[in-house]
Amino acid sequence: MNQPDQDNAPEIRGRWSMRQRDIGIAIWVAFLAACVGTFVIFGVMDPEALNDAWVLPWEMGRKLAYSLGFLFLFIVSLIASSLTIFMIRTGPGRGHTTGSGRRPLPEIKDPGEDNPDLDIGEWH
Amino acid sequence: MSGSQSSQETMYRKEPKIYPRHVKGRFARLRVVAVWMLLGLYYVIPWFKVGGHQAVLFDLPARKFHILGLTLWPQDFVYLSLLLIVAGLSLFFFTALAGRLWCGFACPQTVWTETFLMIERWVEGDRSKRMKLDKSPWNANKITRKFTKQLLWIVFAAWTGFTFVGFFTPIRQLGGDIVNLELGGWGTFWIIFYSFATYGNAGFLREQVCKYMCPYARFQSAMFDKDTLIISYDERRGEPRGGRRKSADPAELKLGSCIDCTLCVQVCPTGIDIRNGLQYECIACAACIDVCDQVMDKMEYSRGLISFTTEHALQGEETHVSRPRMWIYGALLLVIVSGIVWGMTQRVPLRADLIRDRNVLYRELPGGMIESVYMLKISNMDNKPHRYELIVLENDAVQFDYSRPLELQAEEVGDFSMRIRMPASAGSGTQNLQLLLQAVDDPSIQRLAKARMLLPVQTNRAGQ
């Protein structure tokens, strides 16, 4: 329904490009994971109790600890989800396992077949 | 695991097993040296002691890392992060300079796979023998060879797993525990886990780790430019390829230098054909260079049909080692490494925290003095015992005493309860205290401990 492209073929455009969708998915999944993670971790652990054992030189209140905890989990999850999408997108294509999407294997033959002077025995 | 390497299958096909042919030559020797050095370090280092500690020990329960005589505490976290950044930057630097040097010669995946292949070759023979053995029916010979190989692999993997755990638990004690069958549950679990990981990655998955699992393989090309060393087949010289007799004149046959022996494919641990150009599967192990050079020698052609070269060199242009990205990576590396070295020399092996007892605000003593209870937490990060003293800065009216002498053994952490007194007339409300903790035998070891002390607010004498 949008403007036809150069080949005059009707093009139905989505609102999002593939890459934008990937980024959106990565952020959303990371957010969900961070929510669950924050909920579980601070459900069983009081950050205030850690203050004396804290490695960093400042004391933090609960609100700050909750926020930093969430942010940390969000960033870690975001790294994981972005990397997952990156690995899938850059990896072998769909149909790979059935062979259709896979590059044909390089052909291998006996080195001496067409090269009578090549004594292959030497490399055994 | 079919041994078939035919190309036109479209039905479901498992990842075909790759039987890399053994190769000798310059780069193969270099890799063997790298394998021996890296694995040698890995298996030997935990057995040595430096400065009374295991040479490298990441003592997680004690929250201390011992690295070649240096003890890192949780407070030194910043050095570890900087070291990680240095490792990352070095990877960028060397990738831009020499391509996937890491993959072909230093990556643990390559190093352990190489070792597992050595064992395999020793028991089952080289490529063609292994392929024949896999196709043959199960007879006594096959069972013996397969069993021996698996046994050696498992023993080697188990030793690897044991050594790995030995970097986190004192290895001599760990060894003793195993001999006496006193190893705990978690120790056993992690040894088996890492043995299994070694066996699975080096014995079973091999090149699939590089092809499907490794993120570096996916983005390393972003660090490449036309001056990066890559493994490359000289297409202009090699094509058209074809078999011929040594005495034949290639020009007469209208052939290039490539005799199409396919040995470069047979030696490739990832099973690719380098003559199709640079592919992301190529781990730059240079096995194809070694084997091709031998074939060229045999045919009395000049070497270098496949070589470590740059795109610029292939196009007959000049290769530039000095280029902006090298300078930027290099400068960053230099700055961070100098920062770490400077930081380590300036590091004071002492930490002091003064924590006020939250349960009691203060106590009024006769004579107009106010007293608060504190906990002084001292970490002696030095490798010898020290006795410490406290000095009050900027406030002569402050008095204090502590429960016991401030003495700590090497690398000991101690809590000392102490009382600090101040005349109520010295101020009103919150007072900031600055106390200097200093080693008696070495005044250069000192730390400032800050604390707050509450005095009754003067306008409202009642306090709380």
Beta strands in A14-118 (DSSP E): none
Beta strands in B171-305 (DSSP E): 230-233
Residues of A within 8 A of B9 (CB-CB) are 99
Same domain, yes or no: B238 and B216: no
Same domain, yes or no: B173 and B33: yes
- Say whether B83 sits in a helix, a strand or coil: helix
Same domain, yes or no: B210 and B237: no
- What phi and psi, each to the nearest 5 degrees, are found at residue B32? -60, -40
A8 assigned to some structural domain: no
Q: Does B138 touch chain A (CB under 8 A)?
A: no
A22 assigned to some structural domain: yes
Handedness of CA B312, B318, B321, B326 (dihedral sign): negative
Closest CA to B121 of B269, B20, B228, B245: B20
Beta strands in B357-443 (DSSP E): 363-365, 369-380, 386-392, 399-402, 407-408, 413-423, 429-439
Same domain, yes or no: B124 and B212: yes
Same domain, yes or no: B70 and B185: yes
Same domain, yes or no: B291 and B173: no
Cα end-to-end span (Å), chain B: 81
Residues of A within 8 A of B219 (CB-CB) are 86
Residue B398 near residue B420, CB atoms below 8 Å: yes
The minimal CB distance from B245 to the residues A104, A113, A117 is found for A117
B91 assigned to some structural domain: yes
Alpha-carbon distance A93 to nearest alpha carbon in chain B (angstroms):
12
Residue B327 near residue B355, CB atoms below 8 Å: no
Same domain, yes or no: B157 and B182: yes
Residue B361 near residue B454, CB atoms below 8 Å: yes
B436 assigned to some structural domain: yes
Residue B14 near residue A110, CB atoms below 8 Å: no
Closest CA to B453 of B399, B412, B413, B377: B399
Nearest CA in chain A to B8: A104
Same domain, yes or no: B300 and B193: no
Q: Which of B24, B253, B273, B355 should we substitute to test contact with A (largest number of A Cβ atoms within 10 Å)?
A: B273
B391 assigned to some structural domain: yes
Domain count, chain A: 1
- For B435, the domain range is 350-455
B268 assigned to some structural domain: no
A10 assigned to some structural domain: no
Same domain, yes or no: B183 and B249: no
A101 assigned to some structural domain: no
A80 assigned to some structural domain: yes
Residue B427 near residue B454, CB atoms below 8 Å: no
Alpha-carbon distance A3 to nearest alpha carbon in chain B (angstroms):
35
Phi-psi region of B300 (alpha: psi -120 to 50; beta: other; left: phi over 0): left
B13 assigned to some structural domain: no
Same domain, yes or no: B67 and B158: yes
Identify the pLDDT of residue B7.
44
Residues of A within 8 A of B13 (CB-CB) are 97-99, 102
- For A84, the domain range is 16-92
- Say whether B341 sits in a helix, a strand or coil: helix
Same domain, yes or no: B89 and B203: yes
B243 assigned to some structural domain: yes
Cβ separation B7–A100 shorter than 8 A: no
B419 assigned to some structural domain: yes
Nearest CA in chain B to A91: B212
Regarding pTM above 0.90, the answer is no
Distance CA A93, CA A102 (A): 8
Same domain, yes or no: B194 and B309: no
Domain count, chain B: 3
Q: What is the CATH number of the domain that holds B395?
A: 2.60.40.10
A29 assigned to some structural domain: yes
Residues of B within 8 A of A91 (CB-CB) are 212, 218
Cβ separation B295–A118 shorter than 8 A: yes
B141 assigned to some structural domain: yes
Identify the pLDDT of residue A8.
61
How confident is the prediction along chain B (464 residues), in pLDDT tens digits per residue? Answer: 344 444 444 445 566 788 999 998 999 999 999 999 999 999 999 999 988 889 999 998 888 899 888 888 887 888 888 999 999 999 999 998 888 989 999 999 999 999 999 999 999 998 889 999 999 999 999 999 999 999 999 999 999 999 999 999 999 999 999 999 888 889 999 999 999 999 999 999 998 899 888 999 888 888 888 899 999 999 999 888 988 888 888 888 889 999 998 999 999 999 899 998 888 889 999 999 999 999 999 888 999 999 999 989 888 888 888 889 899 999 999 999 999 999 888 888 888 888 887 777 788 888 888 888 888 888 888 888 999 988 887 777 788 888 788 888 888 888 888 888 888 887 778 888 888 898 988 888 888 888 888 888 776 544 44
